[in-house]
A and B are shown apart, each in its own frame.
Chain A
Amino acid sequence: MSTGEPLLRVENLKVDFPGEDGVVHAVDGVSYEVHEGRTLGIVGESGSGKTVSSLTTLGLTRRQGAVISGKIMFDGRDLVTLPEDELRSIRGNDIAMIFQDPLSSLHPLYRVGDQLVEAVRAHREMSKQQARERAVELLGLVGIPDPRRRVDEYPHEFSGGMRQRAMIAMALMNDPKLLIADEPTTALDVTVQAQILALMERLQSELGMAIMIITHDLGVVAEMADDIAVMYAGRIVETTTAERLFSAPEHPYTWGLLRSIPTMEGYTWGLMKAMASEGPPGRQDLVPIPGTPPSLINPPSGCHFHPRCPYSQPEHTRVDPPLEPVPGGEHHQVACLLESDIRRRLWEQLRAGQTPAEAIAEVEMPEAPL
């Protein structure tokens, strides 16, 4: 993490949606920073609050009746309390956003070029002709062939990957300082995903903007992010550099996420074992995290992850863990009630290919897990 004043600093952000069945605590006290030119990855399952926190940054949850508290400091201004028209001058200008589904995110009845043109003309005095030139230039920059012709086409004439490229071009029309990418590759083919990620990396190095990438896919952040925040049930449960998150993860939920992504080694190793019929087959195969994401209206008591955590102790149902620095880990924070020594030994076992049950037997937990 670089030092100095961050570009975006979110402090203890809470977003509640009052509803008929009760208040949905979509974001429950989240803090993070995005520094100039760097990439923050926010990882979590659906319903973990990662999208809501980013939409709130742009003020887009206000009209949905969200109750927002905390601070979102950007360029010396608090976006939580900023009046709507001032916030509007930041949206799409200093902070731009791209979304998950590029097909539904472009207006079907307007030409792609016109949608790019209006993005720039919403924020600066520019003739239509100039804005159009800028649109052509950016469509070319994001790798759309023959941009001078395609600028006059409609979104349905673009393929999925092209549409996401067009969305990125639109986001870049005003040279934003921060680009928020909410699941930018989820709706795309795997090969196209890689292209879009590579494109974003190239643009970042050329244009020097900061990126906040929101995803459920650790593979995506592994490729893109400098820093990673893992969200669960509206909170950040672990945050550190990308390198450290993959080499020394501390939170059982992070372990679950890591074990549920396919890696080349994992696959082949599991397959070889299965073919040699040595032990239970497929032990190194993908391991899903048991259970489902918790209710955000009545979250579980104590540590919100305890109902799904294989290592939770009786007292974890009562005590709510704060996000605390990991001993010996610089820029590494985790919200877990397990002893850090036990955590480290558990991860050693898991990394060696043990199941959680085997790891527990090996590590001599203070009390039998729930």
Chain B
Amino acid sequence: MAGYVIRRILWGIALLIIVCALTFVFFRVIPTGNPALLRAGRDPTKGHVQEIEKVLGLNKSLPAQFWEYLKGVFLHGNLGYSYYSNESVRSLIAERLPATISLAVGAAIIWVGSGLAVGIISALRRKTVMDRAAMGTALLLVSAPEFWLGLIVLFLFADDIGKFKIFPGAGSYVGLTSDPWKWFTSLILPWFVLAASGAAVYARLMRGSLIETMNEDYIRTARAKGLSERRVVRQGVRASINPIVTLLGVELGVLLGGAVLIETVFNIPGVGRLSYTSIINSDFSVIEGTVLLAAMFIIVANIVVDIAYAYLDPRVRYS
């Protein structure tokens, strides 16, 4: 087990370097704006631009730039400086991380909780009106793009522009520490929208998995033993949850991608919106910082999921 974890961590670091390299190449090869030009202000002279390029290190060769960057990241935890505002990328991200974590954790709870609950109920009440309604809604939510769903929800329920002024709308986010209640209410709509498609996927998966499990021989054995139906279902859920846990690692990536859109639509000052504005501004080092953070998050989550899986399934533990 320990050997396995170490192998996974080493492989994770290798993966991070690859992600670094890919983003580095992408955003320099793809013709976006020249960051030096963006910083130089109106009508810059050629010499001025060259000077800025020199300061930012943009005049060096690409491999040399990359090497400098890697050294900074892995030796000093230094993600570089924003070309745009000169602030350190690390502090830019650190400032915005709490908002993103609030959004992601809340959404993940709603997503997993409601997804599993709806899936289990649907599986047990198979082919009833409730099951069909739940699965129809799930299909709708899976198909709806987050930015569209976000706008619809704001249009319907936001207290400024909504038809039914129920929940705080875009731009109402405050930190948890400054006002917990406002923090909570401001996140209700974003949580719901971000969780929607994931919850729908989970509901469908859980339903399918549980229906299959409830036909297994060991469920028949459980019934033949005279266990109460509640306990029988619990054994079924216990067995059907494993494949879904595996998916959690993958789905977290989807969640983070969604966070970029949701933070933009709801105007939440988080890492997602930071990455959005940095892309607009061709702010390479900030883009790289946020991509690296997301990659690290997904890699760590996947390692955690795999270790958790070994605890959930004794057959994995022994092989």
Binding site for B on A (CB under 8 A): 58, 60, 88-93, 96-97, 99, 101, 104-110, 118-119, 122-123, 154, 156-157, 167, 170
7 further A-B pairs in the complex, CB-CB below 8 A; given A91-B224, A105-B218? A89-B226, A92-B224, A104-B216, A105-B220, A107-B235, A108-B313, A109-B242
Q: Are B226 and A101 in contact (CB under 8 A)?
A: no
Q: For residue B220, which residues in chain A have a CB less than 8 angstroms away from its CB?
A: 60, 99, 105
Q: Are A99 and B217 in contact (CB under 8 A)?
A: yes
Q: Are A108 and B218 in contact (CB under 8 A)?
A: yes
Q: For residue B242, which residues in chain A have a CB less than 8 angstroms away from its CB?
A: 109
Minimum CB–CB distance for B226 against chain A, Å: 4
Contact mask for chain B residues 230-242; partner A; CB cutoff 8 A; 1 contact, 0 none: 0100010011001
Minimum CB–CB distance for B230 against chain A, Å: 11
Binding site for A on B (CB under 8 A): 216-218, 220-228, 231, 235, 238-239, 242, 312-315, 318
Q: Are A58 and B225 in contact (CB under 8 A)?
A: no
Contact of A88 among B216, B218, B228 (CB under 8 A): B228
Known: A90-B226, A119-B225, A122-B227. A107 touches B239 (CB 8 A): yes
Which of B224, B227, B235 has the most CB atoms of chain A within a 10 A radius of its CB?
B224
Q: For residue A99, which residues in chain B have a CB less than 8 angstroms away from its CB?
A: 217, 220-221, 224
Q: Which 9 A-B pairs have the closest CB atoms?
A: A92-B226, A92-B225, A91-B226, A104-B217, A107-B218, A154-B314, A119-B225, A105-B217, A97-B224
Q: Are A96 and B217 in contact (CB under 8 A)?
A: no
Minimum CB–CB distance for A159 against chain B, Å: 15
Q: For residue B217, which residues in chain A have a CB less than 8 angstroms away from its CB?
A: 99, 101, 104-105
Contact of B225 among A104, A108, A110, A170 (CB under 8 A): A170
Minimum CB–CB distance for A84 against chain B, Å: 8
Contact of A156 among B223, B239, B314 (CB under 8 A): B314
Q: For residue B312, which residues in chain A have a CB less than 8 angstroms away from its CB?
A: 109
A153 nearest in chain B by CB position? B314
Known: A107-B235, A110-B235, A156-B315. A122 touches B228 (CB 8 A): yes
CA separation between A122 and B235, bound complex, in Å? 14
Q: For residue A156, which residues in chain B have a CB less than 8 angstroms away from its CB?
A: 314-315, 318
CA separation between A123 and B231, bound complex, in Å? 13
Q: For residue B218, which residues in chain A have a CB less than 8 angstroms away from its CB?
A: 104-108
List 16 A-B residue pairs with CB atoms under 8 Å apart, sorted by A's residue number.
A90-B226, A91-B224, A91-B226, A92-B227, A101-B217, A104-B218, A106-B221, A107-B239, A108-B314, A109-B239, A109-B242, A109-B313, A109-B314, A123-B226, A154-B315, A156-B318
Which of B227, B228, B235 has the most CB atoms of chain A within a 10 A radius of its CB?
B227
CA separation between A58 and B226, bound complex, in Å? 9
Q: For residue B226, which residues in chain A have a CB less than 8 angstroms away from its CB?
A: 88-93, 119, 122-123
Q: For residue A90, which residues in chain B have a CB less than 8 angstroms away from its CB?
A: 226
Q: Are A122 and B225 in contact (CB under 8 A)?
A: yes
Q: Are B227 and A109 in contact (CB under 8 A)?
A: no
CA separation between A118 and B238, bound complex, in Å? 15
Q: Are B224 and A60 in contact (CB under 8 A)?
A: yes
Minimum CB–CB distance for A164 against chain B, Å: 12
Q: Are A91 and B235 in contact (CB under 8 A)?
A: no
